[in-house]
Amino acid sequence: LTDPVGFFCSGIHCDVKGVRNGKLDLGIIYSTKPCNAAGVFTTNDVQAAPVKYSKNLVHNSALTFRAIIANSGNANACTGIEGISDARKTCKLVAKRLGLRQRQVAICSTGVIGLPMPMMRIEPKIDGLVAGLDTNKGEDVARAIMTSDTFAKEFAVEVKTPDGTFRIGGIAKGAGMIDPNMATMLGFVGTDAQI
């Protein structure tokens, strides 16, 4: 995901599930420039707080994005008003640390349903997550969003045209979970093409 120019990633272990296994479970994707965004979201009747929050941002066509924060271990689903508040607070913390507006940060979560987000473990890790941003850590985010996946999924291509060269990179988790209705799959694609 960091092959396109201007994209940085970072992943960190914050023990979202409280199992102390050391696995990466919080990741961030950051662009040095504002990005036009598009999104496809689950059509299930039950939608997690991060889905509602990010869907609202993406559907506001006047906005551009600079960052996406994503976690595994807890889907922040069926968590009511507290879940929306936690999603909003996480985006606010990331935005503050990066010097962005809160509405420039989207959020995605995957994992256990029905449990509140362990904000006491996530909040202290935001500074380290942002400090770790680098152009060679796309795989860290691919690993941080894994749930039942057996390996990290990432891919990038470079396209040469008469008008110049551009790159497209992406990561995904839960490719077998795309059905029904974009269930629990997460996928992120970035490009330095002028779209």
Phi/psi-derived region of residue 36, left when phi > 0, alpha when psi is between -120 and 50, beta in every other case: beta
Q: CA–CA separation, 72 vs 147, rounded Å?
A: 6
Provide the token pair at 174.
């839960």
Q: CA–CA separation, 155 vs 53, rounded Å?
A: 27
Torsion of CA 126, 128, 129, 135, to 10 degrees: 150
The candidate with the shortest Cα–Cα distance to 184, out of 15, 51, 14, 21, is: 51
**Are residues 14 and 70 in contact, defined by beta-carbon separation less than 8 angstroms?**
no
Residue linked to tokens 């970035």: 190
Query: Which of the residues are catalytic?
Result: 184
- The span from the first CA to the last CA of the chain, in angstroms, equals 17
